[in-house]
Homo-oligomer: A and B are copies of this chain.
Amino acid sequence: MVESSSDEILEGADKADIAFLVVGDPFGATTHTDLVLRAQELSIPVKSIPNASILNAIGATGLQLYNFGQTVSMVFFTENWKPASFYDRIRENASIGLHTLMLLDIKVKEQSLENMARGRKIYEPPRYMTVMQCAQQMLEIEDEKKENVYAADSLAIGCARVGADDQQFACGTLKELCDVDLGAPLHSLVLLGRRAHELEKDYIKKFAVNPETFEQSWKKYHGRNH
């Protein structure tokens, strides 16, 4: 899409101003950085306008933005392909006590193997990863690696449609979130860091799926410094 069409997007920029609208912040994705570099090679002046994005809208969970580590992506697993680099990134964030925002996979314009083989431009319906799927995949990898980066009773916040009027949050253990249906996309998930603060607790406890297990896990993983 953007990657393969940068020349097309930039075409005519010597004669007219070209505007390029994106969802979220223009520099949230490497793709757009590439596009600016390409424009600069062609001596086309570029002006970018920052926008809200999930990276700060996630503050609506009540978790403090300066307590987040690096953001990680979770892709749909297939039977033979279960990329687990997210596990190492979470380990790094966890090692210094920080929260991890996980951005969940979106599949649009996918072709079935058959349609691809036959060169038919027929696309599958779009797929958006849910909080349930993310929590399941996280536990699948922890079960496999057993390095205790997180556990079934680790606290996380499932987030749906952040920034929209019907945004929704559910705070629970990863095990619990495997069964929490948050409805329509887009979803994302935050795994809580050890260093979570009491003020954050005061805010997120109203999203608790189960107040009892919430208190247990909070005490077990986050209550030590207080």
Contact = CB atoms under 8 A, between A and B. Distances in A.
Interface stretch (A91-99, A174-182, A214-222): A91-99
A203 B60 CA distance: 32
Contacts of A30: 64, 199
A73 to B, nearest CB: 8
A61 to B, nearest CB: 8
A163 interface: yes
A48 B26 contact: no
A34 B98 contact: no
Interface in A46-77: 47-53, 55-57, 59-60, 62, 64-73
A25 to B, nearest CB: 4
A71 B60 contact: no
A104 to B, nearest CB: 14
A64 B203 contact: no
Given A34-B199, A95-B96, A25 B66 contact: no
